[in-house]
Amino acid sequence: MKEQTLSVPVKMVPQGRLAMWILIAGELMIFGGLIACYLLYRLRFPEWGEQAAHTSTFFGALNTVVLLSSSYTIVKAHEAAIKKDLQKITLWMSVSILGGFFFLINKSIEYTTEISHGFTFSSPHLQESGNTIGSLFWSFYYTMTGLHGVHVLVGMIVMFVIMLQARKGKNLHRVELAGMYWHMVDLIWIFLFPLLYIAK
């Protein structure tokens, strides 16, 4: 107990929440840049629609439902954290982590199907058949969903660590921070889903 007792001053927003907002703003700029690049190319190449037709709208929609539900459960965990109900926190956070897990399983099924059809990072068969512009779509697809997938994975690890602490009643305020991060992951997916799956 040293640093905490030492600090005197004014507190406007709780420290962790403030830092999290700044981090989220920074993350949104990363994905914002990527999405802006994608949109500029998408407007230039209407033929990307043919490639987007190969992505599985069903799995995309399922994943959207899964992520949205896990956002709901992390809110329930936050609610439990306010009431200091340790069992409920553990329960709802585990459900959220399972949601992330389910998301990644779906994603890997999708990736496997697409790769087995020859749609890879640089899609050599499209390039050989002269459809080099189509291969660029897949580069974007894997970069955007891959980067998002990494964020899902990080979110799961963060939630797991915080759950272990919260189970013992430590650092309950961090449940909210994990929730904020998880909402951001969710929000980004809501942009990726129509751009990569629905717009054909």
Partner 1 sequence: MEHSTHQLSFWRKYLFSTDHKTIGAQYTIVGLVMAAVGGFLAYVFRYNLAYPGENIPLFGELGAQQYNTFVTCHGMIMVFWVAMPVLLAGFGNFLIPVMIGTDDMAFPTLNMMSFWIFLLSAIVLMASFFVPGGAFAGGWTMYPPLSANGYMNTDPDFWTAFFSGGSMMILAVALEFIAMLMGGINFVVTTINKRAKGMTPFRIPLVVWFINIASVIFMFSVGPLVAGAVMLLFDITVGTGFYDPARGGDPILFQHLFWFFGHPEVYVLLLPSLGVLGEIIPVFARKPLFAYKKIIYLAIFSAVLSVVVWAHHQFIAGIDPRMATFFSIGTIIISIPFAGIFLSFMATLWGGSIRPTLPMMWALGFIGLFLIGGLTGLFLGSNTFDIYAHDTYFVVAHFHYTLFPDIFFGFFAAFYYWFPKFTGKTLNAGLGKIHFWLTFIFFNCTFFVLFFNGLAGQHRRINDYSAFSNIIREPYITFEKVATVSAILLILTQFVFLYNFITSLRKGKSAVKNPWDANTLEWVADSPPPHGNFNPYPVVYRGAYEYSLPGVEKDFIPQNRMSKEDSFEKDLYETEPAHGYVN
Binding site for partner 1 (CB under 8 A): 1-3, 5-13, 15, 18-19, 22-23, 25-34, 36-37, 40-41, 44-45, 121-122, 127, 132-133, 135-136, 139-140, 143, 147
Could you tell me how many residues make up the chain? 200
> For partner 1, which is the closer residue by CB, 83 or 125?
125
Joined tokens for residue 163: 């759950």
CA distance 129 to 114: 17
> For partner 1, which is the closer residue by CB, 77 or 126?
126
Task: Give the nearest distance from C-beta 104 to partner 1 in angstroms.
Answer: 20
> For partner 1, which is the closer residue by CB, 12 or 87?
12
Task: Give the nearest distance from C-beta 17 to partner 1 in angstroms.
Answer: 10
Crossing angle (nearest 10°) for helices 57-82 and 173-193: 160
- The CA distances from residue 162 to 32, 57, 77, 89, in Å, are 28, 33, 11, 10
Task: Give the nearest distance from C-beta 72 to partner 1 in angstroms.
Answer: 28
Match 């305020």 to its residue by tokens.
173
Task: Give the nearest distance from C-beta 34 to partner 1 in angstroms.
Answer: 4
Task: Give the nearest distance from C-beta 22 to partner 1 in angstroms.
Answer: 5
- The CA distances from residue 64 to 89, 179, 186, 192, in Å, are 23, 17, 8, 10
> For partner 1, which is the closer residue by CB, 51 or 96?
51
